[in-house]
Structure 1
Amino acid sequence: MNAPNTRPSEPVSTVVRDPDSVDAAIESRFSARAFLQRAVPRETIEHLLRVASRAPSGTNTQPWKVYVLQGAARDSLVQKVCAAHDALAADPALAAEYREEYDYYPEKWVSPYIDRRRACGWGLYGALGIGKTDKARMHAQHQRNFRFFDAPVGMMFTIDRILGRGSLLDYGMFLQNIMVAARARGLHTCPQAAWNGFAKIVLPHIGAGADEMLVCGMALGYADESAPENHFRTEREPVEAFTHWLA
């Protein structure tokens, strides 16, 4: 039997003895939006990244590059981007300066995707008691992204621009591995595309090279169980709604 917390030497013959725990780690993952000020040991973060690196990637290209922010490095990035976010709200004309480098969302929204997006947004705001006309509170809640929702650990993920779109698919599997492995250790996460528009601030701050593109950020820590936003859950379509069986 393999020792705990070590990678099996023979994956082909490895038996997953507790499949329910694997399912629980996946199914209990959600985007936590409030964290406790409880430190996460570096060795724990390193373990999560080591496990996540077993994600598949086309021809084993392993396109991920990770920057872990804690302490002063985290706090100073928060200050910079929150200031830019406030300035953008005050002068929408600045939007031209803060553009995402790749299209995370479609230019034109259609059903059913726009319906799910709206249900997600208004469901979260409803849990927080934010009304549709309360622009100030909407802005403040959106800015919570740029505070990593108070998580003590922020991560930024970049990719070499020379790589193709398939590498972003590989990257998604790497990110999911981090989030599932985190759940196995009592941690929660929030993957964050919100940072992408502020890449011109983020990339120099983390010391990324000129050939790197920001993929997303992620908050990591211990979720605040008392926060109402952490009890909001998005719906999932039933298997029969998205599956076609062919024989």
Structure 2
Amino acid sequence: MNVSEAVAGRFSARAFLDRPVPEEQVRRILDRARRAPSGGNLQPWHVYVVSGKRLQKLMAKIRRKALLHPRGEKPEYDVYPPSLHEPYRSRRYQCGEDLYASIGIPREDKKARFKQFAKNLEAFGAPVVLFFSIDRRMGNNQWAHLGMFMQTVMLLAVEEGLHTCPQESWSAFHGAVAKFIGLPDEQMFYCGMALGHADLDHPINQWRTDRAPLEDVAKFITE
């Protein structure tokens, strides 16, 4: 498999098979991902791997928290800007509409939509969740380093025959997750990433988001 194939093969899986992932395979992915680029070689990223009974215990804890606090905890960062403008607003709206349409949930069925969204906090059935954090003393630039590390992890997972789903939804309960994984005070929780074998027959995993045309993204300046 080459890099182009890994990029094309990566997607955010939202339904996983009940199939374990050996710890050695996860270690191999993370060990190779250490080569992700980082300005000044700061390497500001941290990752916590949770699986097995510990993952089940964490998810049960979060479910209880969600019943008491459906809107989650006070956020440490905005997942989206408070006021999205175009074209970003339309892209986000269309993404949500297409996702629910892929599994036959109409817009007016709020209960079914909420039930599907709640699967985020069950990692969509994945056997492993990676939780990412960054040193609080880092600036905006170092957050890009964390993103490059995560992208490297996702592409290496494809190479290993695995699938992922980066999940900022875990940040809604960042305090509970941080306490559970023993996150030091100087580290800020960012997100989770489901890791496992996707159920490729599930309709939600056959849906793909589109992308803006190259002309909207890249400007070639030659004169």
TM-score (norm 2): 0.96
Q: What displacement does 1:83 show?
A: 2.2
2:33 matches 1:56: no
**Are 1:67 and 1:157, in contact at CA under 8 Å, matched by a contact in 2?**
yes
Q: Take 1:123 and 1:149, find their aligned partners in 2: how far apart are those partners?
A: 18
Q: Take 2:81 and 2:186, find their aligned partners in 1: how far apart are those partners?
A: 25
How many percent identity over aligned positions? 42
2:12 matches 1:37: no
2:204 matches 1:229: yes
Q: What does residue range 80-119 of structure 1 map to in structure 2 within 5 Å? A: 80-89=61-70, 95=71, 98-119=73-94
1:77 to 58, 70, 74: 58
**Are 1:85 and 1:143, in contact at CA under 8 Å, matched by a contact in 2?**
no
**Are 1:100 and 1:197, in contact at CA under 8 Å, matched by a contact in 2?**
yes
Q: What displacement does 1:165 show?
A: 1.3
Larger CA Rg, structure 1 vs 2: 1
In structure 1, what is the equivalent of residue 8 of structure 2?
27
In structure 1, what is the equivalent of residue 124 of structure 2?
149
Q: Take 1:102 and 1:57, find their aligned partners in 2: how far apart are those partners?
A: 22
Say what the alpha-carbon RMSD is for the aligned residues.
1.2
1:138 to 93, 105, 113: 113
Q: Take 2:116 and 2:166, find their aligned partners in 1: how far apart are those partners?
A: 16
In structure 2, what is the equivalent of residue 161 of structure 1?
136
Q: Take 2:28 and 2:131, find their aligned partners in 1: how far apart are those partners?
A: 17
SS for the counterpart of 1:51 is: helix
Q: What displacement does 1:103 show?
A: 2.4
SS for the counterpart of 2:161 is: coil
Q: Take 1:82 and 1:127, find their aligned partners in 2: how far apart are those partners?
A: 25
Give the number of aligned pairs: 222
Q: Take 1:170 and 1:87, find their aligned partners in 2: how far apart are those partners?
A: 35
CA offsets 1:83-106 (integer angstroms, 9 cap, x no match): 2223334xxxxx4x6122122311
SS for the counterpart of 1:147 is: helix
CA offsets 1:65-93 (integer angstroms, 9 cap, x no match): 1110011110111111122223334xxxx
Q: What displacement does 1:194 show?
A: 0.4
Which residue type is aligned with residue 186 of structure 2?
D
Q: Take 1:24 and 1:81, find their aligned partners in 2: how far apart are those partners?
A: 36
Gaps of 5+ in 1: 1-17, 90-94
Q: What displacement does 1:191 show?
A: 0.2
Q: Take 1:51 and 1:162, find their aligned partners in 2: how far apart are those partners?
A: 26
Q: What displacement does 1:144 show?
A: 0.6
2:179 to 188, 204, 207: 204
2:194 matches 1:194: no
Gaps of 5+ in 2: none
In structure 2, what is the equivalent of residue 9 of structure 1?
none
Which residue type is aligned with residue 214 of structure 2?
V
